Amino acid sequence: MTKSERFFEAMPTRRDILIGAGAAAGLVFAPHGVLATTEMRDEVLRKLTNGAPVKDERVTLTIPGIAENGLSVYTTVAVESPMTEADHVRAIYILSEKNPIAHLMTFHLGPRAGRAKVSTNIRLAASQQVTALVEMSDGTFWRDRKDVVVTIAACIDGG
């Protein structure tokens, strides 16, 4: 291998730099025009949970199985929680594995919410699994995941 070949071999790829920089900035995102991957979504999950285990219980993510238009997909997250000062939902994170960014939004709740249920319209760039990750006041993490088929994409193809 020549000296210059070795130099280029050792250089991190553009994606590595972006992910590294992004991770340092607290974000994980794909360069313009590139979609996120399941690994990036997992990376975001790891950062948010700080490596804590995530249980697939208590959370219900309601989202259509087939989204008519990825530009607006009605999504509801409900969590079984007494929502008291001692035991409540602190945050709900919506994660994507195929959008240009993996971390789509965060709902910050608390005992004043009364009920842990939120709804909004999200954008989906491709058919994918959507994750609702929930952080409780005791530091535990819970989630629900649903697969959505997206017929018309958001974010790509000028949409």
Binding site for other proteins (CB under 8 A): 32-33, 64, 68-69, 71-74, 76, 94, 96, 99-101, 103-115, 117-123, 151-152, 154-156, 158-159
- DSSP H or E run through 41: helix 38-49
In this complex, which beta carbon is closest to other proteins, that of residue 3 or of residue 14? Answer: 14
Q: How far is the CB of 157 from other proteins (least distance, A)?
A: 9
Q: How far is the CB of 113 from other proteins (least distance, A)?
A: 6
Q: How far is the CB of 5 from other proteins (least distance, A)?
A: 35
Q: Note whether 119 and 35 are within 8 A (CB).
A: no
Q: How far is the CB of 96 from other proteins (least distance, A)?
A: 7
Work out the angle at residue 157's Cα, subtended by the Cα atoms of residues 36 and 31, and round it to the nearest 5 degrees.
Answer: 35
- DSSP H or E run through 16: helix 14-24
Distance CA 104, CA 91 (A): 13
In this complex, which beta carbon is closest to other proteins, that of residue 23 or of residue 113? Answer: 113
In this complex, which beta carbon is closest to other proteins, that of residue 12 or of residue 64? Answer: 64
In this complex, which beta carbon is closest to other proteins, that of residue 4 or of residue 121? Answer: 121
Distance CA 50, CA 47 (A): 5
Single-letter amino acid, residue 87:
D
